[in-house]
Amino acid sequence: MSKPQGKTQLYVISWGLGVCSTAMAVMSVLGDLPPVGAIINCDPGWELPATYEARDFYADWFRARGATVICDKTGDIRRDRPLRMPLFTGSGVPLTRRCTGDYKRDPSRRIMRGLAGYDKRRPPHPPADTIEMWLGFTLEEWHRMKPARQKYLKLEHPLVRHKITRADCVTYLAKHDLPIPPRSACICCPFHRASEWLEIRETMPDVWIDAVAFDETIRDGTQASKPLVGQRLYLFKGMNGPEPLGSAPLEEYAAREKTLEWFQLPLLCGDGGCWT
Ligand code: SF4
């Protein structure tokens, strides 16, 4: 493939740290996709230890092959403003999801504007299609593709374009003897499936203890702005509604999850989910 042509001045990869966006970045670095100007990760500050290990490994690996990698710690989602997350209210209705904008989309846009030579926040804005950002959606996720709201930004989906599936991404990394990163998301993400919480509980006891403690901290809603005080908030919603994470029957829910189609399951922020 040749480098894309046109009025675009800057190509970047949104590196969510999951398997698919990582594989896409490796493809670009190895020449199986065109090169980009930067590989950008915005980190809300509370991912799995294995995710940070994979990030550090790949950041070094990309840089050693000449790529520009920008890893920006955009805050501490656990402590800053937890109520920007789509936590579940007692009725099961989630709060508005503002965390992806705060911690991922807005910082990414500021970085890209700066790289393109524009003020990070203020007009003038770059002309239409100045920046092209690649998201790591795979073929199975084609229906999640959307245009960007900003005219200067074009969102591209090379994995969909080349009919690459998630399994292909795993195979590609393995073929190059590279580690397979875990699914990436904030530990406190309310979009975790029961099976994912179960895995955390069974294999990462320290992370589990922290997540349960976080769930208990948010319960009374007192961290909220005034209208929320008095609401009960939950990190987890089971098949019958929100419930405390620490006592949820995760085995039962995880078994029932298998009967759902994959597209009925929630989408986390990795690999481009934060742009949906
Ligand atoms: S992974 Fe979840 S908690 Fe983290 S920014 Fe995305 S939606 Fe918010």
Number of the ligand 1 atom closest to the C-alpha atom of 270: 1
Q: Using the mean position of ligand 1's atoms as its centre, give its distance from the Cα of residue 7 in Å.
A: 33
> Please, are residues 272 and 100 in contact by the beta-carbon 8 Å criterion?
no
How many angstroms separate the CA atoms of 244 and 250, rounded?
A: 11
Q: Using the mean position of ligand 1's atoms as its centre, give its distance from the Cα of residue 222 in Å.
A: 21
Sequence-separated contacts (24+) of 125-131 with Cβ below 8 Å: 125/150, 125/151, 125/152, 126/9, 126/152, 127/7, 127/152, 128/7, 128/152, 129/6, 129/7, 129/8, 129/153, 129/154, 130/7, 130/8, 130/9, 130/10, 131/8, 131/9, 131/10, 131/11, 131/12
Name the residue at shortest CA distance from atom 3 of ligand 1: 189
pLDDT at position 232 is 87
Q: What ranges do the domains of the chain cover? A: 10-186+268-275, 194-264
Q: Which helix (H) or strand (E) holds 241?
A: strand 241-242
β-strands 10-14, 38-43 pairing: parallel
How many angstroms separate the CA atoms of 58 and 69, rounded?
A: 10
> Please, are residues 210 and 187 in contact by the beta-carbon 8 Å criterion?
yes
pLDDT at position 7 is 86
The pocket around ligand 1, CB under 6 angstroms, is made up of 44, 85, 97, 99-100, 103-104, 185-186, 188-189, 191, 268-269, 274
Q: At what angle are helices 194-203 and 205-218 packed, to 10 degrees?
A: 130
* Residue from 105, 184, 234, 269 whose mutation best tests the ligand 1 pocket (most atoms within 8 A of CB): 269
Fold for 10-186+268-275, please state it.
Rossmann fold (3.40.50)
pLDDT at position 258 is 79
233, two tokens: 């908030």
How many angstroms separate the CA atoms of 243 and 88, rounded?
A: 9
How many angstroms separate the CA atoms of 233 and 255, rounded?
A: 25
Name the residue at shortest CA distance from atom 6 of ligand 1: 269
* Residue from 81, 103, 196 whose mutation best tests the ligand 1 pocket (most atoms within 8 A of CB): 103
Question: pTM score, two decimals?
Answer: 0.91
| Placement of tokens 């800053």 in the chain | 80
Number of the ligand 1 atom closest to the C-alpha atom of 185: 1
pLDDT at position 150 is 93
Neighbours of 247 (CB within 10 A): 9
Number of the ligand 1 atom closest to the C-alpha atom of 100: 5
pLDDT in 10s for each residue of the chain, 276 residues? 444 445 889 999 999 999 999 999 999 999 999 999 999 999 999 999 999 999 999 999 999 999 999 999 999 999 887 888 999 998 899 999 999 999 999 999 999 999 999 999 999 999 999 999 999 999 998 888 989 999 999 999 999 999 999 999 999 999 999 999 998 899 999 999 999 999 999 999 999 999 999 999 888 765 544 455 567 899 999 988 999 999 999 999 999 887 765 555 566 676 666 765
Size of the chain in residues: 276
**Backbone φ and ψ of 62, nearest 5°:** -65, -45
